[in-house]
Structure 1
Amino acid sequence: MASTHRPDIDLLRLKLIISCHEVVREEIKQKPLRNKREIRKAQWITDRSPDRMRFYVLDGAAFKLKQYGTAWEARLVASCNPVLDAGNGVYIYLNDHIDDLFKSFVPAFLKEVDRPLEDDLARNSLNATVVKEEKERLDQLKRDLKLPPETPDGSALYMHIFRAIMRIKAGKA
């Protein structure tokens, strides 16, 4: 397990892994799950001072936190999800690699079809029905995760992490 050399951030990462275990790869969650009881006992919020603001990007694939000097720098690296206030002056931006997934999918998809790119893009563009169905799916996920209605819109992974941070800040994770 890679260390951030910050005990508080290491603890936050471990708590996120445990709280989001259903969406974390098996090889990442094995060790934290073995130590789940001790990790849950440890308190996350130890300093409520707003003077120390720290900005991190959470890599959604590796579940590692990387610190950046400013919110602007972190936002550039992350995907389009809203920022997450993790407490203790820590703000997390999520990079859930949706852009990478899309970039890897499109070339493979285009190789399978025998028509020009323009035709393909016209047929598969996001129309109102697709957008509506995706919104309904994400709204259902919010309800399934028992998130408050005012939860910002984001990817499915964002919603799992949002729920985990709510639980961590409340001392329930």
Structure 2
Amino acid sequence: MKKITLLGMLFSLCFSIGHAQENMTIKEETTVKRVVKKEGSTVVVQEVEATTSEKGAVIVADNEEENQVFSEKSAVEDKEKVVLDETALDEKNEAMIAARKKAQEEELKRSIEEAKAKAAAERKKLEEQEAARLKAVEENKKQLEKRGKGVGKLTKKKKGN
């Protein structure tokens, strides 16, 4: 029994000494980014967890001095993990887009009708002006053809005379 107790104490002492000599430094930073993108009526929600960890060991000289100078050997590791990635449709936005498209189509139809009506009114005005001009030309022609009593008929001049 004495041997077993002594062996157990020796084993636990070795384990605690070995464990106590391990000088490790561990720093870990975790950042969670939530990104919400709205593209039309589609809503994309994405959560990314970025972890930066720095693990290192403290290195000291293996002598028995107090307040020894130490150095630290460390390795930096970056990890990114997508926690949430979902896509959803925003029905309210979808309805607003549909209503806006419908209003634009109605506005386009209305403006086309107005343009056609304006073009028809302009055409009618031009036709009236053309008719008035032709009537004025006819009246002017009749007035010019009308001759007084003493005036003879108009004759065309021949070349060579």
User: What range is the shorter-chain TM-score in?
Assistant: under 0.3
Q: Considering fraction of residues, name the structure with more strand.
A: 2
State the TM-score, normalized to the length of structure 1: 0.18
- Which structure is higher in RCO with an 8 Å CA cutoff and minimum separation 6? 1
Bigger radius of gyration, 1 or 2?
2
